[in-house]
Amino acid sequence: MKKNLYDTFFLVWIVAVMPTFSFGQIYTNTFSGAGACPTQGNTPTMSANATGTPLSRSTGVTCTSTANAFNSETLNNTASINNVSYIEFSVTANAGAQLNVASLSFIRRGSASAPNQLEVRYSTDGFSTSTSWGAAPVTTTTAATTSWDFSDFSVPSGTTLTFRLYPYGTQRADLGAGPASGTTGTFRVDNVTLNGTSPLPVNLVSFTGKSSNNAVILNWITAWEETNQGFDIQKSTNAQSFESIGFLEGNNSTQSQSVYTFTDVNVLSEQRYYYRLKQRDIGGGVDFSKIIAVLTTGGEQEGQLAIFPNPSQGSFTLSGQGSCLVTVKLYTLSGLEIPVSTNQGEDPKRLTINAKTVLAPGTYYLKVNSVDGATTKMLKVLIN
């Protein structure tokens, strides 16, 4: 890939760099309280842009005093699911946010006589409709982690997502051949975790960039927005330190698609730049998009000279029309000349330059003179 990159003079390369936390936890509830009822330590930890409820029991399901677990009894020990006998928790996307939900996991354990069947469902409309797992493994008397990797989906702003666990069944958790499961059996839950992300408080469906005529054109689209003040456009040369180079106002609150375009004209040819969006809420909150990278091209100005890679470690290429018809000298910021060697390959538009000494990180300048002495250009060289 690297060889093709340098051999193709007018190549545009755009790569999407994943955000720092591309996958995480929206909701986590790990029980660490003393053995008392109501269940102690029943406090969820939430991601940004989401609010959650503790675990709770429906009418009829009761608490059993147990440390470090959510323990319940008076369970449904019939062969069919009882729709009003369950354990539940909820998460809500905060105003101006959405939740991208990926999977649910939890630890479960039953006492010997507990029913060993379990159904898990989720709903975003108060269980007027719901999605069922239908394939949850049976409960055993030893603690085991259970994971439901359902099809990813999004929960829009202000919407509440509720999960319910329905223990049921006539078979005992100890799988014994004796009497059927009993209502006095207990069902423990711990480490309840809803995996996914709570991203920008807008539904950002795309963010792309391209090089065009010595500029970088950025485009992004939102499917909906809520209390969106706007976007700071941020730029970097190393994907670590960013600075704002512009701002575009958002559409406040809208359920319609919005299209944005921003042009960065402050670029050098054949330089890789990194961009991200800093989204601002009207209420003062901020969040960041993924990072994209754009490699600029020389565009239509064939005479423009450029350096790549830049930064480098002291070995770089001068490219552009007429690169074979120049002499070069490299200087420090204080004006000290650095000895260099040059090599003209088969491509008349490229001149390879190598510093003869190890260079300290920093900024240098390459003085480029035409062989006839008619023109002189100074190009910034970055050493890392």
Quick one: which of 132, 111, 109, 92 has its CA closest to 190?
A: 109
User: Contact 200/279 with Cβ under 8 angstroms?
Assistant: yes
What per-residue confidence (pLDDT) applies to 25? Answer: 84
Q: 3-state DSSP call for residue 7?
A: helix
* Beta carbons of 102 and 157 less than 8 angstroms apart: no
> Region 12-28: what's the mean pLDDT?
47
Would you give the DSSP letter of residue 325?
G
Apex 122 CA angle, 62 and 87, nearest 5: 5
Report how far residue 156's alpha carbon sits from residue 276's, in angstroms, rounded to the nearest whole number: 23
Question: Is the model more confident about 23 or about 81?
Answer: 81
The whole-number pLDDT of residue 20 equals 30
4 in helix, strand or coil? Answer: helix
Average of pLDDT values for 132-142?
A: 94
pLDDT in tens, 238-263: 887 889 999 999 988 887 888 999 99
Q: Would the pTM count as exceeding 0.75?
A: no
Candidates 258, 240, 241; CA nearest to 249 is 258
For the chain, list the domains and their CATH numbers: 24-197 (2.60.120.430), 202-295 (2.60.40.10), 306-383 (2.60.40.10)
